[in-house]
Structures are given as structure tokens and as C-alpha cells.
Structure 1
Amino acid sequence: MVQNYENNQSRTRKGNKLPLAMVSGALVGAVVVLAADSEERRRLKSGSSNAKHKVSDYATRVKEDPQGVKDDWLGRIQSAASITKEAVQKIQEILDEQGSQIKESAQDIQHESKEMIETAKDAGEELQSVGDKAQEAKEELSSDNETNETEETTITDINDKK
């Protein structure tokens, strides 16, 4: 049991090295890119400077008027929430309207499908009666051939006897 605990601890330590290795690799890659590309260095420096100024300005605003910043954020959040609520209502209206249209279309398709099935059944019954007539005609022709063969045999037999 103690051995299992020690194995788990060593696996945990090995598992913790992966994120460290990934971060280290990313930093080394960033340093290589910055060392090789002066334009990238200038862009990064400019972006960092802009971010620093924005954070500094925001911190100054918060120090000067914390309640105003809070009210501004709350107003923005409430505005975003009301816009989101309106969007959700509009989506629901569209879904309701389209859903009813889809339901009507499905009912129409179902009705037309039933009519097509009935028509196909009627056609099948008519074809069956035609098939029965064809079978009857075939049997009639077959019986005529048998009668003719019998008559020919009789005539041949009579000729042979003469």
C-alpha cells in the first residue's frame, strides 16, 4: 500500500512537469521570434504600452469615481441583458411561427401521401384485374393449342390408317 502511494506521488510529480515544459517552450519560442523579427518586437512593445496606458487610465477612473464606474458597468450589463432578452424573444417568435408553418406543411404532405397511397392501391387493383384477364387469355390460347394438337394427331392417325 505504501508502495502504491509512492508510485502515485512519482506519477503526479511527472505529470506536473508537462505544463511547465509547455510554458517554457512557449516562452522560448516567443523569445526566438522577438529576437529574429524587429517588426514583431516593435508591435509587441507598442501593444504592451497601449495596454499599460488603458489599465492605468481605468485605475485612475476607479480611484476618482468608484461609484460612477460601478454604475457604468451595471448599466452596460443591464443593457446587454435587455438586448439579449429581446433577441431571445425574437428567436422564440420566429421558432413559433416557423414551427406552425412546418407543422401545416407536414400535415399537407401527410394528406397528399395518403392520397398517393390510395391512388397506387387503386392502380394496383386495376393492374391485378388486367393481369387476371391476361392470364385468362393465356389459358384460352393454351387450351386452343391443345385442341389443335389433338385434332392434328387425329388427322395424322386417320391418314396413316389409309
Structure 2
Amino acid sequence: MTTITREWLQKTIAEFENTRDDIPFGLDDDDAKILKVLKQVLAYPETLPCPVHLVPGLRLGKGCKTETLLIALQRRAEYCAGLEAMTPEERAEHDASIAALKAMLPQPESPVAMLCAALERMLKMHELVMDKTNTGASFYDAECIREMNMAPIQARQALMFAERHK
């Protein structure tokens, strides 16, 4: 069996077009349809022109082979069909095994906790800078002075807000 490549398609289309041009009445209906389909297949991109995000969890970037997307969609359809075909007991067992697998994976720290730690560190850094720097002699820029004063106030407010809403 011949592997269909872009080069083969281009060659076959050229042959059909040459035949069409050589015949006074053009191609018959079947050959015209074949030529149209070959041109459509040739227009089909080998790689994705943009990123594709299919919810849930299927993300393919720009330049990914289109065939990869189609294979992923087929596998997802087969997986979903398999889930739908399960009995309630099989589905419960499947869900339990997924939950057990998730429990084995390390859980990331919450974003709020990470932000609070970053703000606390920034406040500590600010206090050290203010203690060790002669701000009256070192900072002449009004915008810099304003930011030096407002940033820790805003950080403290954010920390207090986060603590109240935990």
C-alpha cells in the first residue's frame, strides 16, 4: 500500500489537472469529485496553526501535528465510552483507584499561603532596609519614597485580609 504524503497528493493533483486540461470536455463527475477531495486533503494542515485547549485537560500547542490532536480526541472518546459502559460498582472502583493515585501525589501549597509568605518576607526586607538606610539622605525621588511607604502598608492590609478569610 502506498503511503499518502503531501508530495504524492501534489503529484496526483497535477496529473488530474493535466488530464482535465488535455481532455476537451474535462473530467467526468467521479474524477472531478476525486480532484476536489484531493485538494481539500492537501489544504488540511500538518501542524496546528494555533494552540488548542479542549476542556477538560487536553491542551495542544501551536505547531503540534494535527494527527496528534485527532488521535487524542479519539482516545478521549474511547475512554469516555469505557466509563459510560461501566457498571456502578466498576465505576466506584475506578473512582477509588483515581482518588488513591491522587492521594499519592504531593499536594501543592495553597496560593494564599504562598502569597502570605512572600508578603511577610517583603515586609521583613522593607524593615531591614529602613533600619539600615538613611532615607533622608539616600532617596530624593518622590515616587520612590511614596512606593517605599505605600508598598508595606498595602502588603500588611493584604496579609490581614488573607488571615481574616482563611
Q: Establish whether TM, by shorter chain, passes 0.5.
A: no
Per the normalisation by structure 1, the TM-score is 0.23
Which structure features the higher share of helix residues?
Answer: 1
Structure with higher Rg: it is 1
Per the normalisation by structure 2, the TM-score is 0.23
User: RCO greater where, 1 or 2, for CA within 8 Å and sep 6 or more?
Assistant: 2
